[in-house]
Amino acid sequence: MIFGYARVSSKAQNLDRQLVELREFGVPAKQIFTDKESGKDFERKNYLRLRRRLREGDLLVVKSIDRLGRNYSMILEEWAFLTKTAKCDVVVLDMDLLDTRSKGDNLMGKFIADLVLQILSFVAENERLNIRERQAEGIRVAKQNGVKFGRPKTKMSASIRATFPLYCAGKLSIEEVLARTRLKRSTFYKYYREFLEEE
């Protein structure tokens, strides 16, 4: 049997383009499974339903490899499950080399598809590491140039500052201070500690 799988990351996104391509390939509409969920893992309701339906010799068709997921190490594991454990064929429409179907020598087709997937995985992981490195370098340079990260420190207003001596002298309770300044208790104590350090 032939099955199709389509995924978008959120309910606001549209599956139509993927569905059209799957149907044009020859996947019957009733055998296309869809999810509108993140690709961070494979715990997706309809993907799991599809997985349970797959039998040896079946064909799974997806528009692109990132429709399966976005984590390449997890995609590699899932690819191994599909092609080696479940013994299905997989076709990725936008990459001809990711096609495990028999082309005279089925073993060669599977080998090439596995190899391409390994290379894609390496490239994606390498790019992730490069992005992290560039971000860390950018942060380091920005800090050297005096850029401050995080929320800017807020200054105490004169009216808030005026309540501290009254609070210290016991002339205002904490509830009265909070009502007067409209501060949260934690914010009040943060400012109060700063006030005491200044004294």
- In our burial notation (b when 16+ CB lie closer than 10 A, e otherwise), range 5-42 reads bbbbeeeeeebeebbebbeeeebeeebbbbbbbebeeb
Q: Are 16 and 24 in contact (CB under 8 A)?
A: no
Specify whether the CB–CB gap between 8 and 46 falls below 8 A: no
Yes or no: say if 198 and 177 are a contact pair by the CB < 8 Å rule. no
One of 9, 102, 121, 186 is an active-site residue; which one? 9
Instruction: Estimate to the nearest angstrom the gap between the alpha carbon of 192 and the chain centroid.
Output: 41
Do residues 122 and 92 touch, judged by C-beta distance below 8 A? no
| CA angle (19, 124, 97) in 5-degree steps | 55
Q: Please give the helix or strand (H or E) that residue 142 lies within, else none.
A: helix 106-144
- Catalytic residue check, 64: no
Closest CA to 137 of 124, 126, 129: 129
- Residues labelled catalytic: 9
